[in-house]
Amino acid sequence: MNVFVEFERRIRDAVSAAQTTGDLPENLDLSKISTEPPREESHGDIATNAAMILAKPAKKSPREIAEKLAALLEKSKDVLEVNVAGPGFINIKLADQFWLNVIREVLSAGRSFGSNSLGQGEKINVEYVSVNPTGPLHVGHCRGAIFGDALANLLEFAGYGVVREYYFNDAGSQIDALARSIHWRLREALGENLGEMPDGLYPGEYLKPLAESLARDNGADLAAKTENEWLPVLRSAGVGAMMELIKDDLALLGIHHDVFFSELSLHGGKDSEIKRTIDVLNQKGLIYEGVLPPPKGQLSEDWEAREQTLFKATEFGDDIDRPLMKSNGDYTYFAADVAYFKNKFDRGFDQMIYVLGADHSGYVKRLEAIGKAISGGKAQAVVRICQLVKLFRGGVPVKMSKRAGNFITMRDVVEEVGSDSVRFMMLYRKNDAPLDFDFVKVTEQSRDNPVFYVQYAHARICSVLRKASESFGEAQLADEFLRAAALDLLSDEAERLLMRKIATFPRVIESAARAHEPHRLAFFLYEVASAFHSLWNKGKELPHLRFIDEEKGDITMARLALIRATAHVIASGLTILGVEASEEMR
């Protein structure tokens, strides 16, 4: 149960009770009423602003309404006391039993505690990574990949039907460049001395294994053919090999997509999806032939006016109408984007989330415009931008140059600092704030590094439970036994703090999912870990608070129930973030 949702319901009930007695008028807007944990603990367990929100429409003073509602709320058995404070806050103090039940609930729900049906099965497509298959992933791709993955997990936990999707551009001129690069490497592998690789090709070493394997098979034949003949062969061989490379890189971070969608599949033939999509837009009167105005600001030299097939993106909030055809008759990349959205829409998604890097922030409006135009408002394109990551090593910026070939790959990073650290670090920041990533700090196993702090809390709990099973036997420590423990023996403030923190997990999941912000979960886990570490150390100073007391089985079981529940929540949260909940630290 989400405690806060429960009380929102009770407050609504109280309001309608006050309406039937005439203390409050009918037709009140209750949507702005919130229930939340008060900042000050002494204020109680739950606070609501209901009286202040209703004061104006009811034409009564907030305190008067608060007193009325407080009296109604106080009638429940599990409510200890209700106070009115400040400008009209209603502070509710709950009976202990209420919190103890949350612990029991965690122990029976286990990993599913905190999941909810916010999404009600709504189908969401989360598209992330979507890097062109021209080479391995580099460090700049990490953040979006991790963010998208965690967001997908989070939404799934919140009851959405999530599909993880990767859109790869296997149609454009970059793929021609890839094919030519492979051809160049192929001739090199066959023994030709070619000198330095020309500009415009991909100079990385990673194409060599592919070229060498091609050389062993039918390389000589291939090299002897004309470009028209080998280009399509090497394009598809290259895309296939690069996608495998990329999937391997993603697997290092535990990222696996459900669907890999080919851009090329939208182009094929006279009856292509792109053409059909443009026809649909045409029927809606959203296509015209026209000339775009020159870009404002700095005028580029090679700009010239030309007539193009344009989509009326401005009707849907974009800054400018967008071209669908190049002057040579090819479709633009944007045209494929439109068809791709339609494809997703036809597959029945209600929300299409695009996780993009900051360098694509200019795409937001046009993607939203596509969403409105294609779906007629039935589905939504939602763009989440990840800001750039700056790399440091011990405070010194790490320089990268693609030209010199010394750019850092995702594989480099993961192999150096580990998947857990990279993932947590990338998620321990709001996605739309820039992020400094320091290799030294991230490798340090210190309090500077939150992932270890959280994992350590989990490992400590596992350690206590291992220890306890020596004295009490493993069978006694199963969740169903712990659930029956005398939890009302838990009376210390630090214990109560921990259980109240755990009880907010469902609320955190809900708000993080609603806002598409997995970082909230990362911060929450840090707070849970902190509450636990605090309790642990209190037991060091005050022996009667230690988790295991072999003389007192009752209190021991109660405490083990509390920390087992804590471990469930940490593990569950870490799993959503894609971080391992280690059982011991080494």
Distance in Å from the first CA to the final CA of the chain: 36
Among 75, 111, 306, 552, binds RNA (CB under 7 A): 306
Starting at the edge strand found earlier in the chain, the sheet holding 79-85 runs 35-36, 46-48, 89-94, 79-85
Beta strands 322-323; 259-262: pairing state: unpaired
Interface with RNA in residues 157-196 (CB under 7 A): 169, 171-175
Position 472 contacts RNA (CB under 7 A): no
Position 332 contacts RNA (CB under 7 A): yes
Mask for 273-302, x = binds RNA (CB under 7 A): -------------------x--xxxx-x--
Among 548, 553, 575, 580, binds RNA (CB under 7 A): 548
Nearest to 175 by CA among 134, 227, 230: 134
Exposed (0-12), middle (13-18) or buried (19+): which is 406, by Cβ within 10 Å? Answer: exposed
Position 584 contacts RNA (CB under 7 A): yes
Which span sits near RNA by CB under 7 A: 71-79, 104-112, 178-186, 533-541?
533-541
Position 544 contacts RNA (CB under 7 A): no
Alpha helices in 483-552 (DSSP H): 493-503, 505-515, 519-541
- Kindly state the helix (H) or strand (E) to which residue 15 belongs, with its residue range: helix 3-20
- Say which residue the tokens 């993961």 belong to: 414
Q: Tell me, by CB under 7 A, how many residues bind RNA.
A: 106
Which span sits near RNA by CB under 7 A: 111-119, 204-212, 320-328, 416-424?
320-328
CA distance 421 to 415: 11
Positive or negative torsion for Cα 417, 418, 420, 422:
positive
Position 429 contacts RNA (CB under 7 A): yes
Q: How far is the CB of 24 from RNA (least distance, A)?
A: 16
Which span sits near RNA by CB under 7 A: 15-23, 41-49, 192-200, 475-483?
41-49
CA distance 351 to 158: 15
Mask for 193-222, x = binds RNA (CB under 7 A): ------------------------------
Pick 189 or 310: Cβ nearer RNA? 310
Among 1, 474, 534, 554, binds RNA (CB under 7 A): 534
CB contact set of 155 (below 8 Å; sequence gap of 6+): 119, 124, 126, 162, 513
Position 2 contacts RNA (CB under 7 A): no
3-state secondary structure of 515: helix
Position 86 contacts RNA (CB under 7 A): yes
Position 493 contacts RNA (CB under 7 A): no
Q: How far is the CB of 284 from RNA (least distance, A)?
A: 22
Alpha helices in 166-270 (DSSP H): 173-189, 208-224, 227-252, 264-267
Q: How far is the CB of 123 from RNA (least distance, A)?
A: 23
CA distance 312 to 250: 37
Q: How far is the CB of 390 from RNA (least distance, A)?
A: 8
Interface with RNA in residues 375-394 (CB under 7 A): 385, 387-388
Count the neighbouring beta carbons within 10 Å of the beta carbon of residue 371.
25
Q: How far is the CB of 371 from RNA (least distance, A)?
A: 16
Which span sits near RNA by CB under 7 A: 95-103, 114-122, 192-200, 542-550?
542-550
Cβ pair 66, 89 in contact under 8 A: yes
Q: How far is the CB of 515 from RNA (least distance, A)?
A: 6
Which span sits near RNA by CB under 7 A: 142-150, 342-350, 409-417, 514-522?
514-522
Pick 189 or 237: Cβ nearer RNA? 237
CA distance 528 to 547: 17
